[in-house]
A and B are shown apart, each in its own frame.
Chain A
Amino acid sequence: MAKLLSNKDWSLIKKFGRYFVPHKKWLIVSLSSIPVTTTASILFLWLVERIIDDYIVPGDITGLKTFAMLLAGVLLLNLLFDGLYSYTFSKAGGLAIVDMRRELFGKAIRFPMRYYDKHPIGVTLSRLTSDMESISESFAAGILGLLSESIKTTALIGYLFYLNWRLTLVLLIVVPLIVLVMRYLRRKIRAAFDESRTSLAKSAAYLQESLNGMKTIQLYNAENEAWDKYNNLNQTYCNAQNRSNVYDSALYSIVEGITSVATAMVLFYGAIQVWDYGYTMGVLVVFITTLGRLFIPVRQFAQQISTIQRALSALDHISHLFEQETEEDGKETGKEAPSELKEIRFENVSFRYTEDAPDVLKNISFTLRKGDRIALVGTTGSGKSTIIRLLTKTYTGYRGSIKINGKELKDIPLAEIRNMMSLMQQDIFMFNDSIRFNIALGREYLTEEDIRKAASFVYADHFINQLPGKMEYVIQDNGDNLSKGQGQLISFARAISGNNELIILDEATSAVDSLTENYIQKAIENIFSSRTVIAVAHRLSTIKHSDQILVLEQGQIIERGNHDELVSQGGKYAGLVKTWEEKKSDAS
């Protein structure tokens, strides 16, 4: 069996073996049942031989009755301890999987955003669900029986050797043959399985994407196009599965058929022994009626090989995910009140998203003190959002220096950073939970009063009060049962409710009608007068209220100053303001 697993498999098994350590008491119970069941199964054979040779052949009816009873008792014992073994073993495995999933999910939500830029969520999801299921399945069905059966079989072979070592050797001639066939087919099956797993994950990821984007697919009449793609992915999966079906079937049949081959050989050699050396018939009958048992582990391995392969591929995938770096570890501080902020200083900061991409920020320097209001102005792609992503540590790996309260950003725990600032993001995400929850987001220090205040602060209370259940109204996934503007308002309330010193507004009030926006502008004015703010803003009104305006172009700050200074400079900003005013309609 050892040879049927590669070194990589063993190292995977070793790596994940540590998850069993906390649950070793179940493993111990489980493993200590094996000697009991092994003894019982040998005893069973010994009793069968005794019954034939000592009672049936000589014709002793009383002995036959006693020994038949004994045989039943031994079987019962075997059943009970086998059950105990299997139950406790699964329990240890199940607990290990619970731990593994917990740890992996914890990691997955701590992967940097960079990771999800490259890896679809569907793939991570299948690691956490279907891959874990494969492992769980292999515990329930595969590994379990295999282990105890292997031990039992070894004992059985030992016993058969003791009974008649020549006959046993003849019986075992077929073993190397099976091992060779299995090794060959195993490789094929493994390759087919890897392919089918990958294609299944792709097809699942595409399905998820299509369901999320179904509206877009429909609006563009692209149902057929999407179907083609999905169908092609499924075709690949189906082909790989069918290839492994062929190997599986062959393997299964060979292993089943080998029993008959072995029977023929035992008969042939057994006859010679009985005729020429006077061996008893009991031994021969025991051999012939039990040699099927001998191949049980082989048969099980063949049956479970796919389950085990699947589990091993799954382990491999999961182990890749475990190797991914998470964002720095920091204590979770969701339960504490916000930390203080004195000063943020950017010095010659440059940044690019990937090694082969150009710099999106070049030598950015500015200082923000407590109470300051900074507006970032510039065309799309000028780097405004990137500055915010760096500041919130969504992306790391900048060059130059960013200091908060005199401390380098790199050295400040992530949790502390996030606790210091409240971010109003471009992409609004709603959880499938109540409005109250979506505003408070698990921050336990927020009181009911805080939440209500925040809602009315951004004029969200009007529409919330009209919803059935008000604050208890359950928002669907992605906020589908709210209008976009309503979502914005909630996400506004979310940002404001934390009473964090620094508020970051990233293109905050788009898609809200002018009157509501007017309210929000007033709200923003309030925040501006009480908090420190960095805003990626398009509105002149917001920009005018800022102490400092940074005008960005292609990753560089080309102008800085307050509204009046910049207008009098007559540069890019002045030009922008001029066109706004000419059109009498500055960006809302």
Chain B
Amino acid sequence: MRSKLLFLIKYMHRFRWWYTGGFIFLGLTIWTSVTIPEFIQKSIDIISDGEPASRDSFYHYVLIILGLALVLILVRTLSRILFFVPGRLIEKQLKGKMFRKLSSFGKDYYDQNSTGSIISRINNDINGVRMITGFGLLQTGNIIFSLSLTPYKMWNLSPALTLYCVIPMVLVFIIVRVGMVIMVKNTHRRMDALQKLSGKTISFLSGNSVIKSYNIHRWAEDKVEKENVSLFKYTMRITWIRSFIIPLLGNLEQILKIVVLFVGGLYVIEGKFTLGQLTEYIAYSALLTQPVMGLGWVLTVFQQGFVGISSLQTIMDRTGTDDNKKPLPAEHQKNLFQKSITFKNLTYTYHNGEHPTLKNISFSIKPGQVVGITGKVGAGKTTLVNLINGYLRPSPGQLFFDEMDAANLHAEDIRTVAKTVTQEVFLFSDSIRNNITFGAKKANHTNLFEDVIFKSAFADELARFPKQEETLVGEKGIMLSGGQKQRISLARSLYTPSKLLILDDVFSAVDTDTERFLIKQIFEQHPAESLLVVSNRTSVLEKTDFTIVLEEGRIEAMGTHKELIKKSNFYRETWELQK
């Protein structure tokens, strides 16, 4: 609880003057609205007395009521603005924070949390915080002011009648509160159902082409329908309470009116009360309805918001891969790969794996070398690559950039050294140019765009697009073929220079002509000082300084093309197959 409050205070602190202003205007609002009934009472008593002498003060009162009404409009508007705006600003700030946090998490996090659930978390949980910091606070202030000022005025008129009014109020409040608790429970269930529905929908829309070619629309519809119906079920449970229980609060004014008319009526008959006072009392009891209603809502807003906060805290409190490290100064970053990148008996097990994916890996890459990696599906090639580029982190003492232990380096350091063209290409729904220059904003040196396009064998095809490099790539680059996507990704990696360029199976989706061109560009022009090439094509591997053959996570053999033909069965068989 305390940590949640601290969380709120941390974000609200910046807007303390907004909130202070908000509370002042809110106080004025409440004061004005309880003062008006007083003048109504005075006016009514003058009317029923019919004293012609007091008519002047009657007109005076009516004018005061009118004036107060105008003041009320003004102060109420201001109080609302002053509360709502910070709520939205905090919402924005939180979204940004969450995004930053999310971008500091590694693979383990994304393995455990689906995109759909992260998105709905950001949307719903942050919304909960916004409700607290905007509407919630306003209502709290409202309740505090109203529930102290109004009852005070009522008490002044008649303490006994006030006590009579408390009984139905408390009763109604308890009933409604119980209803709310049930409702909140169902709201959570409903949220879960909504989350599942979103998850399924995203998955099916992303896999739309498979659904189409296998004609399984009906199956997808059935799956979504299940979630659709369960969402409806929970919605109706909430509706039941909303229809039959919650309106008790809205009708509190009427319930109190019956009490006041009956008891107050008796007082008037007995001469303890004037008709004006009765009217004033009814007007006060009407003023009570709103804050009591608000109290119910405010409790719910805080409850839901706190659930949201604790869910946000699980993200905020989670340490990102590099939270405890600082990137090295730029001149040190440059020196990270002067001598070698060295694997020292590295063993790596995935966070969710039972057995190590890589075992006892030892080798080193020197600046200027071209190194190949080959092996069967699942041998650990991509894992090895992801360890070098910092996507996965080794335990201390296993991987070194010169003398620096990779386990202690900040991802930014590692990535200024190593650029990776991944197997699975990801393009943003943006122009081709923006996809290629992506990530270059911070770089102090970039290569020529045209040059990079040429080197990635993409120039001819790009020229054929009507809008050329401004052509928009559909989501994930749908309009482009696999080979085209891979070459854009290659161009992206060449755009900013790096010391080590890692090509993870880039030649797989391109045809032989393009492959030859690329090999020529990459091996002869040396776009980066050093190269690490993952491939199963011996035509590529024979050009390396040495190649590592992985088998079930171990180095089966290591050496030049000629050596490996003698040493490695896998390599020899591959080579013979491709002959």
Structural contact, B537 and A585, CB atoms closer than 8 A: yes
Cα–Cα, bound, A561→B484 (Å)? 27
Structural contact, B216 and A442, CB atoms closer than 8 A: yes
Structural contact, A113 and B209, CB atoms closer than 8 A: yes
User: How many of B's residues come within 8 Å of A, CB to CB?
Assistant: 171
Cα–Cα, bound, A441→B515 (Å)? 35
**Of A94, A267, A580, the contact of B236 (CB 8 Å cutoff):** A94
Of listed A212, A257, A441, residue having the most chain B CB within 10 A: A257
Interface residue A169 (Cβ < 8 Å from any Cβ of B): no
Cα–Cα, bound, A526→B117 (Å)? 43
**Which A residues are in CB contact (< 8 Å) with B579?**
584-585
Of listed A117, A267, A353, residue having the most chain B CB within 10 A: A267
Stretch among A9-17, A237-245, A313-321, A447-455 lining the B interface: A237-245
Interface residues on A, range: 35 or more
With contacts A209-B428, A234-B95 known, is A334 near B215, CB below 8 A? yes
Return the CB mask of A250-288 against B: 1 if under 8 Å, else 0. 101110111011011001101100110000010011001
Structural contact, A483 and B99, CB atoms closer than 8 A: no
Structural contact, B209 and A208, CB atoms closer than 8 A: no
Return the CB mask of B196-222 against A: 1 if under 8 Å, else 0. 011101111111111111111111110
**Of A75, A79, A241, A476, the contact of B258 (CB 8 Å cutoff):** A75
**Which B residues are in CB contact (< 8 Å) with A378?**
511
Cα–Cα, bound, A275→B100 (Å)? 72
Structural contact, B100 and A227, CB atoms closer than 8 A: yes
CB distance from B517 to the nearest CB of A (A): 10
CB distance from B532 to the nearest CB of A (A): 14
Return the CB mask of A198-239 against B: 1 if under 8 Å, else 0. 000001110111111111111111111111001100110110
**Of B105, B224, B479, the contact of A105 (CB 8 Å cutoff):** B224
**Of B68, B286, B412, B505, the contact of A292 (CB 8 Å cutoff):** B286
**Of B205, B378, B420, the contact of A486 (CB 8 Å cutoff):** B378
Cα–Cα, bound, A346→B74 (Å)? 75
Stretch among B9-17, B40-48, B311-319 lining the A interface: B40-48
**Which A residues are in CB contact (< 8 Å) with B50?**
274-275
Structural contact, B508 and A271, CB atoms closer than 8 A: no
Structural contact, A477 and B114, CB atoms closer than 8 A: yes
**Which B residues are in CB contact (< 8 Å) with A441?**
210, 214, 216, 219
Interface residue A194 (Cβ < 8 Å from any Cβ of B): no
Interface residue B424 (Cβ < 8 Å from any Cβ of A): yes
Interface residue B310 (Cβ < 8 Å from any Cβ of A): no
Cα–Cα, bound, A585→B565 (Å)? 14
- Interface residues of chain A: helix, strand, loop or mixed (majority): helix
Structural contact, A380 and B213, CB atoms closer than 8 A: no
Structural contact, B442 and A79, CB atoms closer than 8 A: no
Structural contact, A219 and B43, CB atoms closer than 8 A: no
Stretch among A55-63, A361-369, A402-410, A562-570 lining the B interface: A55-63
CB distance from B365 to the nearest CB of A (A): 18
Cα–Cα, bound, A220→B415 (Å)? 7
With contacts A102-B221, A215-B391, A230-B99 known, is A87 near B536, CB below 8 A? no
**Of B77, B240, B282, B390, the contact of A250 (CB 8 Å cutoff):** B77
With contacts A220-B492, A224-B441, A275-B50 known, is A129 near B88, CB below 8 A? no
Structural contact, A129 and B77, CB atoms closer than 8 A: no
Q: Considering only CB atoms, which chain A residue lies closest to B511 in the complex?
A: A379
Structural contact, B36 and A425, CB atoms closer than 8 A: no
Structural contact, A216 and B426, CB atoms closer than 8 A: yes
Structural contact, A249 and B441, CB atoms closer than 8 A: no
Structural contact, B72 and A253, CB atoms closer than 8 A: yes
Stretch among B140-148, B264-272, B522-530 lining the A interface: B264-272
**Which A residues are in CB contact (< 8 Å) with B426?**
212-213, 215-216
**Of B40, B465, B481, the contact of A380 (CB 8 Å cutoff):** B481
Cα–Cα, bound, A423→B320 (Å)? 41
Stretch among B78-86, B301-309, B445-453 lining the A interface: B78-86
**Which B residues are in CB contact (< 8 Å) with A71?**
258, 261
Within 8 A of B (CB), among A138-182: 140
Structural contact, A485 and B377, CB atoms closer than 8 A: yes
**Of A111, A284, A511, the contact of B47 (CB 8 Å cutoff):** A284
**Of A124, A261, A514, the contact of B573 (CB 8 Å cutoff):** A514
CB distance from B102 to the nearest CB of A (A): 7
Cα–Cα, bound, A377→B40 (Å)? 91
Structural contact, B510 and A125, CB atoms closer than 8 A: no
Cα–Cα, bound, A357→B514 (Å)? 23
Structural contact, A381 and B73, CB atoms closer than 8 A: no
Return the CB mask of B225-256 against A: 1 if under 8 Å, else 0. 10011011001101110111001100100110
Q: Considering only CB atoms, which chain B residue lies closest to A466 in the complex?
A: B378
Structural contact, B84 and A249, CB atoms closer than 8 A: yes
Interface residue A349 (Cβ < 8 Å from any Cβ of B): no
Structural contact, B47 and A275, CB atoms closer than 8 A: yes
Cα–Cα, bound, A402→B111 (Å)? 44
Q: Considering only CB atoms, which chain B residue lies closest to A514 in the complex?
A: B574
**Which B residues are in CB contact (< 8 Å) with A29?**
none
Of listed B212, B377, B513, B575, residue having the most chain A CB within 10 A: B377
**Which A residues are in CB contact (< 8 Å) with B209?**
113, 394, 425, 427, 429
Interface residue A372 (Cβ < 8 Å from any Cβ of B): no
Structural contact, B423 and A484, CB atoms closer than 8 A: yes
**Of B40, B68, B84, B479, the contact of A353 (CB 8 Å cutoff):** B479
Stretch among B118-126, B152-160, B395-403 lining the A interface: B118-126
Interface residue A529 (Cβ < 8 Å from any Cβ of B): no
Could you list some 19 contacts between A and B, CB below 8 A?
A75-B258, A87-B240, A91-B239, A211-B119, A249-B84, A281-B47, A288-B40, A289-B283, A380-B510, A381-B464, A423-B213, A429-B210, A432-B199, A477-B115, A485-B376, A485-B378, A494-B214, A512-B377, A513-B377
Given contacts A59-B269, A208-B115, A257-B69, 12 further A-B contacts (CB under 8 A): A61-B269, A84-B243, A120-B475, A133-B194, A218-B390, A226-B103, A241-B88, A249-B84, A380-B487, A380-B510, A442-B219, A515-B574
9 A-B pairs with least C-beta separation: A485-B377, A220-B439, A260-B69, A442-B219, A510-B508, A249-B80, A222-B439, A585-B539, A380-B483
